[in-house]
Structures are given as structure tokens and as C-alpha cells.
Amino acid sequence: MENQELIKQVTERAQQWLTPAYDAETQAEVKRMLDNPDKTELIECFYRDLEFGTGGLRGIMGAGTNRMNIYVVGAATQGFANYLKKNFKDRDQISVAIGYDCRNNSDLFAKKSADIFSANGIKVYLFDDMRPTPEMSFAIRYLGCQAGINLTASHNPREYNGYKAYWEDGAQVLAPHDKGIIDEVGKVKVEDIKFEGNPDLIQIIGADIDKIYWDQVHTICIDPDVIKRQKDLSIVYTPLHGTGMNGIPQSLKLWGFENVHCVPEQMVKSGDFPTVVSPNPENAEALTLAIKLAKEIDADIVMASDPDADRVGMACKNDKGEWVLINGNQTCLLFLYYIITNRKKLGKMVGNEFVVKTIVTTEVIRQIAEKNNIEMRDCYTGFKWIAREIRLSEGVKQYIGGGEESYGFLAEDFVRDKDAVSACALLAEICAWAKDNGKTLYEVLMDIYLEYGFSKEFTVNVVKPGKSGAEEIQQMMKNLRENSPKELAGSKVKLVKDYKTLKQTDGEGNVSDMDMPDTSNVLQFYTEDNTKVSVRPSGTEPKIKFYMEVKGTLKSAADYLDADAAAAKKIEAVRASLGI
């Protein structure tokens, strides 16, 4: 039976969008949904307000309170402006930086936001075209802004868009500002939004920031000499139709790489992403054209960035000369191994360095850090938490790199979000160093496993869209809390960590406190054979994620495929234990 009460509620909410406060196109779209006998779309678009969460907004574009449109974006910007005026009331001039990606409506949302900020007396630095997310983060700090926003849905499918909110340190907002902004956004009504901008307070930026940013990225180069020797390294790169085309080829050239081949079909700016199913470098399908080109020219490495150029995916040749994908955990391993190994070799370590990983990222990184006497810190998923660690130690300890399993890495501290521009350049340097030593990246990865231990990671995404899906995800987390697994793949669970309560329970039932800066809806299970499983609902997509890491034995590089197959079999057993 249909939920008549819910239909009544969404109908009343939708009818409020038929007033003159909304444009004719929006009203027509809402009227179409109201007139449709099937109320499914109406419910999905109006059953709730699209939540302005701790990272901002992300959702499907369209009319409605639960969709990305100029009114939802406008309310977010007006609320953000109100919060900035309260928080920086003693400043003569508050300023913000605004960036956007290639997605449909990103430029529209950015320009509307610029109008709203300026109408509220806030100076706006607006990029003249799409730019990588990390460049926007850099611009906040470089221009001395108090905040910034970026209009992007990162790697999500084409129907999505998003709104990321940043603070004056160039990182996405954390407490107390996240909740303060959310409170202000919640108070805004459509009639409160000041859409009429003040052009005198909007300054267009672009090439001037590009050059400064690229020069800064070049400063993280560890071994320029190896690049000079391997300047002809054959690189294939694709921006997947996104912002990377405005930065990554230029950065690679600045580092000294002279043989960069961009996938021509994907160097076309498009929010429709016509050559891929989804513009996510985590997906093998997204690299199909890049690998095809790499085979044609016998390239050394393939690199891809997502639409806002914060994530990087890669592929290289294995010991049989076949192209294989390197996952996010492995990429993070390669970065941190190279940074630590070669900074030590070249005498660039002073003894106060630290690296950061997220709690769901491979534990092999911990082995590398410990063996090299480098401090390693764990933090929550999301680069705002890595940025927090950088901020806490600024001027005291030196951050040299941090990453997460979801294909994000940051090698510098002048940006405070994951950065595919610097990551691609550094990845090319690592490949050049490997080649200079007669190795491939694949062989370097084998060296890491042989020295520090082999593990295999796998993530299962259980997608649950819509209102009913959100409720299912909540129930799944509730069930796991109340009925934690006693064993996984036949190995006893020796430790359960609940980041929502900040309590951990060992195999004997002893409970102790966890030291974290905030709570988070994450569960972790550790077994006696060192399997680690992390479970968390996605903060940006309608899914719950299960991150699995299992250990294996690798005696030689030749045994890798057997060890990998055995680990894959174990992961299937873990999945069976969890019923996913």
C-alpha cells in the first residue's frame, strides 16, 4: 500500500516550489512531477532536504529539495555567507575563492554562488574556467581567503553534482565550523537568498594562479637528476574529460617529462563523460582508451585523473609485459615507499617527518614507516582529516605524504586536499626512478611486498539508493553493532573498534577508550590472522562500504599470482562470513 501520508507531505513541499520565488523552468518540472500518477520521482525529489553535511552537498541534479539546483546551492551559499559574516565580523573584507569542474551546471552553480557571496558584501575570487580541486585549495591559502567552495561531484556518475565547503586553511571544513555552517544553512528560506550579485566584489582569476601553483608543485620533486636521465619516459595520461587537462600535462612538462601522450578523445571537456560509463579512475573501464593508446606506443605508464583532478588511477606492465591496474592501496604504498626511501638516500630527512594514512588504508604502510623510523598517523577517511594532521604539526613537524585507499594522495603541505596534479608528476618520477634502476613499477611493488609483507585489499560497495536505501544502510550498521561477527573466514575476531562510541572491545570482552578527534559511523573488525574489515556508510553516495584487507605469504615475485589468488579466495570467505 502506498504511504499516503508521505505522498501528502511531499506534495505540500513540492507545491511551495510553484511560487514566483522559483523560475518558470523549475516550476514546470515540479508541476510535471505533481501531475504524474506515479509519485516515485516526486518522493525522491522532495522527501527530504538535500543534507548540507560536514563536507557540503552532493546529489543528483534536478528540481526539488533533495536535488542539486540553484535554489539548494543558493541556500547553502547564503548560509555559508551568514556564518562567515558572524565568524569574521571584525574583518574589513571577508574573501572566498570559488572553483568548479567540467560537470553540467558546475559553472552555473559557481557563478550563482559568486553572485550570492558578493551580494552579502564578501569578495569573491572566481576561476575563469574549470580548475583542479587542489588548485582551488591552494588559491584559498595563497590569496588569504577565509573560505572557499568547489562545485564538483568528484568521481560520481554524470547525473550528480556537488558543493564542497573549505575553510581558511584550504581544507574542507571540520568542527566547529562544519556544524556552525550547517546550522546557518538550515535557517535559510528561498526568499532570504540574495541572488543579485555585486560585480565590483567579483575578481576573475586564472592563469596567474596556475603558474604559481605549478611552480609550487615542482618543489616537491625529490630527484631531478633521475628525471633528466629519463626525460623520454613514455607517459599516457587521461583527464576523463575533466579539469586535469588544465594542469597535469603542463605540470609534467614543467618537471621535465617530454614524452607525454594525452588520450585525445578524453581531452574534450564534457559533463556528459561520453567515452566512459563512469568517470572514476578506480574503475578499469575508465582506463580502457588510455591502455589502448599505451599498447600502441609501448608506454611505460598510464595515469588517469577524475573530473576534479583530486584522484589518480594508474596502470603499468607486469613481469609478463601485460598491462595491469594498480589499486589505490598499492599506489599509496608506492608513493610513501619512494618518498621515504629516496629522501633518506639523498639526505633530505631531518628527523621530524611524519606520514598519514586513513584507518581503512593498508597496514603495510605502517610496516614501511616503522621500519624506517618515520612517524605514521591514522585518521578518518577524507583528506580534511589528513589536512588536520598537517595543521596540528605546522611549524613543528614536517609532513611528507599521506593518502587513502580511494586513489587519493597528497605529497605537499601547500595544498590541503588530495592532489592528482602533484601525484601524477610524482608518480612519473617514481616510474623514471624505477626505469633508471632497470625496473618497472610492478617490480618495485613486488620489492615492497617482499620487504614489508604482502596483503590484498578489496572493497565491496553495497548500493542502496533512495529513502528506503538510506534506511536499509542504517539498519545494516545497527545489526553489525548489536551482533558483531565472532569470526571471519574461520579466524576469531580479536578486536572490534566502534568509532561512533569511541570504544574498542577485545576478544575477551574487555572494553577500552579510543583516542580520536571526533566520532564517526565506522566499525572495524580485526582477526587473529591479521585480517582487517572496516565498514562505513559513504558520506557522498547511497552505499555502504566494506573494506577488507587480508594477509598472505610472498616468498618471491614469481609467487605473486599464487599469493594473490589465495588472498582473493580468503576475501571471498570473509564476504561469506559477512553475508555480502
Catalytic residues, by residue number, are 154
- Round to whole Å and give the CA distance between 137 and 283: 26
Cell 615542482 maps to which residue?
Answer: 218
- Round to whole Å and give the CA distance between 216 and 142: 11
The three grid cell numbers given for residue 214, joined into one nine-digit string = 605549478
Cell 573466514 maps to which residue?
Answer: 489
Q: In what order do the strands lie in the sheet with 398-404?
A: 375-379, 353-358, 398-404, 408-410
CB 459 within 8 A of CB 546: yes
Calculate the alpha carbon distances from 313 to 286, 328, 329, 347 in Å. Answer: 10, 7, 11, 30
What one-character-per-residue DSSP string does 18-29 give?
GSTTS-HHHHHH
Count of beta carbons in the 10 Å neighbourhood of residue 562: 13
SS (H, E, C) 385-422: HHHHHHHHCCCCCEEEEEEECCCEEECCCCCCCCCHHH
The three grid cell numbers given for residue 19, joined into one nine-digit string = 511560487
Count of beta carbons in the 10 Å neighbourhood of residue 170: 26
- Round to whole Å and give the CA distance between 390 and 187: 33
CB 231 within 8 A of CB 256: yes
CB 151 within 8 A of CB 131: no
CB 367 within 8 A of CB 452: yes
- Round to whole Å and give the CA distance between 383 and 282: 17
Dihedral sign, Cα of residue 241, residue 243, residue 245, residue 249: negative
Q: Amino acid identity, residue 373?
A: N
